[in-house]
Amino acid sequence: MTTTTEPTNTDTPQTGGTAIFDSLESQVRSYCRSWPAVMTHSQGSTVTSEDGREFLDFFAGAGALNYGHNNSALLEPLLDYLREGRIVHSLDMHTGAKREFLQTFSDLVLEPRNLDYKVMFPGPTGTNSVEAALKLARKVTGRQHVLSFTNAFHGMTLGSLAVTGNSMKRKGAGIPLTNSSKIPYDDYFNGVVDDFMWLERVLQDSGSGVDKPAAIIVESVQGEGGLNAARLDWLKALSDLCREYDIILIVDDVQAGCGRTGTFFSFEEAGFTPDIVCLSKSISGFGLPMALTLFRPELDQFEPGEHNGTFRGHNLAFVTARAALETYWADDSFQKDVQAKVTEFRAGLTRIAERYEGATVRGRGFLTGIAFPDASAAGKIAAAAYERGLLVETSGPEDEVLKTMPPLTTAPEELNRGLDILEEATASVLGDGNPA
C-alpha cells in the first residue's frame, strides 16, 4: 500500500482514459459528468487528476470530508489499525474500536452538550439513518404520517424519498410515495404568512383531514434544496410545537452536522434538543461510510435485530471517527477557528454577489452559496470554476444556487484562492457586474 500523495506513474495508456466509464458504468453516474477528470490523488483541500491537474475541492465529498482528504491525524491511526491485524468487519459485535468510538463520542460530543441519546448504528449511509429514524418514530407512536418540508432532501430510498421534495428524484421511485405531507419551510412565503399558522390550525382541528403525524423531519440548512437556512427562532418554535402536540422531531444533520455550520450539531445554537438526530457523511471524518441515528432513551424501542444490516458499524470508520473527534472536538478551538473563517468567507461571497443584481448569499456556516436570479447561471459558473481548477456544485430545485462547501480545515489562503476563482468564473459567465 502506498501512502504517498504524489501522483505516481502507474497509469499506463491501457489504464488511462474514460472509455470504461462510458461503456460499462451505468448512465446514472452524475458528478463525473461535471468533473470528467480521472482523479487519482487527494490531500487536504486538493484533488489531483491523473494528468497532473490540481483542483481545489470546495465540495468535500458532498460534506463527507469536513476534515479534508487523507488527513494524517486520521490516516495514521487507520494504517496502524490495519497493520496490527485488528478486526475490520464484525457485523454489530462488540469490538475494541467500537467501544473506543462510543466512549469518545459520549465524552466529547454528547456529555459536553448535555445530550442524553442512545446511539444506533444503521447502515452506513445518510438515507439509512433517515429510514431508521422514520421507522422508529412510526413504531413508537403507532402513527404513520410524517411531515417534512418544501425543498427537503433526505435520501434516495423509498422512505426517505417520501419525505423529500425534489420532483425528479421522487419520480424515480416508480411507485406512489405515501404517508407523508409537505409543509412550508421557513420563509417559504417570503414572510407573508405566519410561520406555523397552517400547521397549528390543522393539528387543532379534528376535521382538518390531516392525520396527526408520528414525526416532523427537518434540516436546519437545506443543503440540496437550495441552501435555505432556517432561522434559529423558527427551529425552536418548531420544536416547541412538536412538544405541545406530542410529535417526534427528527433533525436530519447528515449534511449540516459534524461542524459544517460552525458547531458540531447544526441545531446547537437554537436552544432545543431534537428527539432523533440523523448523522452520516463526516462522522467517520475520513470519507469512510458510517452513519448514526441518535434518539432519546425512551424511544429505544426496536426489538433486537428488528432493524438489521451487514454494514452497521464498520471498525475502520470507528477508528477514524474517534481520531477526528479527538483531534478537532476535544475543546472549542477548532470550532472557533471555523467560525472565524466562515465570517471571512461569507464576506467574500457577499462581495461577489453584490456585483450582480438580485444575487443573494444563502446558507449558514460553511454550507453557503450564491443564488442567482437567472437559474442557468450557477451551473455555468460551476463549469467555468472547474476549468479554472475549483470544484463547486449547484443546489436547489432548478440548480439555481452555486454551492460552496470547502473542508472545514481549508487554510485561509486556499479559501481566498477559491474565492478569486469563483469571482473570475462568475465574471466569465455574467460579465463584470457592478464593481463595488
Residues that bind ligand PMP (CB under 6 A): 62, 125-127, 130, 153-155, 219, 223-224, 252, 254-255, 280
Give least dist CB 283 to ligand PMP, A: 11
Smaller CB separation from ligand PMP, 41 or 260: 260
Task: Give the length of the chain.
Answer: 436
* Structure-block grid coordinates of residue 339: 467560525
Q: Find the residue with minimal CB distance to ligand PMP.
A: 126
Nearest distance from residue 156's CB to ligand PMP, in Å? 6
* Cβ nearer to ligand PMP, comparing 254 with 377: 254
Dist. CA 17–CA 38, nearest whole Å: 8
Whichever of 250 and 359 has its CB closer to ligand PMP, that residue is 250
Task: Quickly count: other Cβ atoms within 10 Å of residue 263's Cβ.
Answer: 19
Minimum Å gap between C-beta 1 and ligand PMP is 26
State the minimum distance, in angstroms, from the CB of residue 271 to ligand PMP: 21
Give strand pairing partners of 393.
403
Long-range CB pairs of 340-344, under 8 A, 24+ apart, other chains included: 341/366, 341/408, 341/410, 341/412, 341/415, 342/262, 342/366, 342/368, 344/412, 344/415
How far is 363 from 229, CA to CA, in rounded Å?
A: 5
Rounded Cα–Cα distance for residues 114 and 19 (Å): 53
Please, which residue, 252 or 400, has the CB nearer to ligand PMP? Answer: 252
Give whichever of 143 and 154 is closer to ligand PMP, judged by the CB atom.
Answer: 154
Among candidate residues 321, 313, 335, 322, the one with its CA nearest the CA of residue 286 = 321
Q: 183: Cβ–Cβ under 8 A, 6 or more apart, which residues?
A: 147, 148, 149, 150, 198, 199, 216
Task: Please report how close the Cβ of residue 403 comes to ligand PMP at its closest, in angstroms.
Answer: 11
d(CA 17, CA 39): 11
- How far apart are CB 367 and ligand PMP at their closest, in Å? 10
Q: Considering the complex, what minimum distance in angstroms separates the CB of residue 45 from ligand PMP?
A: 20
Cell of 155: 435520501
